[in-house]
Amino acid sequence: MIEIRWHGRGGQGAITAAKIFATAAFRAGYTGVVMAPSFGTERRGAPVFTSLKIAKEKIYDISPIETPDIVVVLDHLLLTEADVAKGLKPGGLIVLNTPKPLTAHDFDGMRVAAADVTALSLEAGLPHGVVNSGIIGVLCRALDVVPFDTVLGEIEAEFKTKRPQANAQAARLAYEKTIVEGA
């Protein structure tokens, strides 16, 4: 089982991003998929997270992730606002949207995959601040379990009425520009 926790801000589309990746994983043979948003009283802009578990078999335990293999962070400012690395397994992976060089962050020995998704999404033709398609490209570069073409297909399907090509292009650019560091 692969456990991925997605951190974003209310309204930023972290749930949609997780759902796209979950659907692609399902199509790629991960029949066990459980995606549980943090429940309750989300406000726009406030830190939120969603849990995604994927496995080859049906998942019966839908309780929240405590020890993720991967955390996906849609906004680098969340690194200081929320304890995004909480419970991250030793050797775990942080997938990060950041405009800064990796040396500007302290990741306590964890593996990091990062790209400036905000800028690359603009370049792909998306409005400023839309990063939830692009971040999937960063994840796919560092986690090779779902064919990237399948993921791009799901991105276009999810955004079929909202700039499907630009969203897919954002993921493609992020995939190409991602820097992976660490063990």
Partner 1 sequence: MHIIENGNVAAALGVKLAGAQVIAAYPITPQTPLTEKLAEFIEAGEMRAQYIPVESEHSALAACIAASSTGARAFTATSANGLLYMHEQIHWAAGARLPIVMCVVNRAVGAPWCIWNDHQDSISQRDTGWIQMYACDHQQIIDGVLKAFALAEATSIPVMLCYDGYLLSHTYMPFEVPDEGKVGRFLKPFKPPYALDPANPANLNTVTLPDVRMDVLGEMAHGYMEIRYLLQEDLRAALSVGQEIEDEFASIFGRGGNALVEPYRCDDADYVVVGMGSLTYQLRDVVEALRDEGHKIGVLGIRLYRPFPDQAVAEALGAVRGVFVIEKALSYGYEGALCSDLKAALYEHLVKGGGNGGPAEDGRDRGQPAFVKGLVAGIGGRDIRTLDLTDALRAGMAATAGGGAKGAPAEERPDWIGIKL
Using CB under 8 A as the criterion, which residues of the chain lie in contact with partner 1 when the complex forms? 19, 22-23, 26, 31, 33-37, 39-41, 60-64, 66
DSSP labels, 138-151: HHHHH-TTS-HHHH
Q: Name which of 20 and 110 has its Cβ closer to partner 1.
A: 20
Nearest to 113 by CA among 132, 137, 94: 94
Nearest approach, Cβ of 15 to partner 1 (angstroms)?
8
Q: Beta strands of 17-175 (E only): which ranges?
A: 32-37, 47-55, 70-73, 93-97, 111-115
Token pair, residue 179, equals 């820097």
Nearer to partner 1, 53 or 163 (CB): 53
Closer residue to partner 1, CB minimum distance, 69 or 123: 69
Of the two residues 31 and 165, which places its CB atom closer to partner 1 in the complex? 31
CB of 80 to partner 1, least distance (A): 25
As given in the structure block, the two tokens for residue 171 are: 């993921």
Rounded CA-CA distance 161/120 in Å is 21
Contact call for residues 77 and 65 (beta carbons, < 8 A):
no
- Shortest reach from residue 19's CB to partner 1, in Å: 6
Nearest distance, CB of residue 4 and partner 1, angstroms: 13
